[in-house]
């Protein structure tokens, strides 16, 4: 499996407007897309998706990181999927084409969700509209 690096971070948050202010003005992220309940911010070569989840409370431990994604070249993707399957890694979603590329979500031994994704933020935004 030849992972090329970090792709994006998706966070469950309680207030989209409050979080956009923080990520733009404090962290210096660039807002690329704002939806009704989510937004995408560019941060260097990586990107962050914020998902407003007002039904979750901070005490539920469901606010915070949703999953951690890594970029992988498309020609390596299906080999990586096979390795996950052979290793009996729990697969949460996929493999499927989504967001401009191939994606698969899986769990580490502690239940932390990871994703391998073949698209860039620019490709996702081109397919988003």
Q: Where are the beta strands (DSSP E) in 23-88?
A: 30-34, 38-43, 46-52, 64-71
- The residue from 55, 74, 76, 115 that is catalytic is 115
Q: How far is it, in rounded angstroms, from Cα 64 to Cα 48?
A: 12
β-strand 113-117 against 64-71: which pairing, if any? parallel
115 is catalytic: yes
Q: What is the CA radius of gyration of the chain?
A: 15
Whether 104 contacts 93, CB under 8 Å: yes
Looking at the annotation, which residues are catalytic?
115
């Amino acid at each position: 499996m030849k992972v090329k690096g970090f792709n994006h971070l998706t966070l469950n948050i309680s207030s989209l407007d409050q979080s956009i202010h923080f990520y733009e003005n404090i962290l210096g992220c660039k807002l690329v897309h704002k939806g009704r309940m989510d937004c995408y911010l560019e941060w260097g070569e990586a990107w962050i998706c914020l998902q407003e989840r007002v039904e979750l409370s901070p005490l539920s431990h469901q606010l915070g990181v949703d999953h951690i994604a890594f970029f992988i070249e498309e020609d390596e993707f299906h080999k990586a999927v096979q390795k996950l399957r052979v290793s009996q890694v729990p697969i949460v979603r996929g493999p499927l084409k989504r967001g401009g590329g191939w994606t698969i979500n899986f769990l580490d031994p502690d239940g932390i969700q990871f994703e391998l994704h073949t698209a860039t933020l620019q490709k996702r935004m081109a397919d988003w509209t």
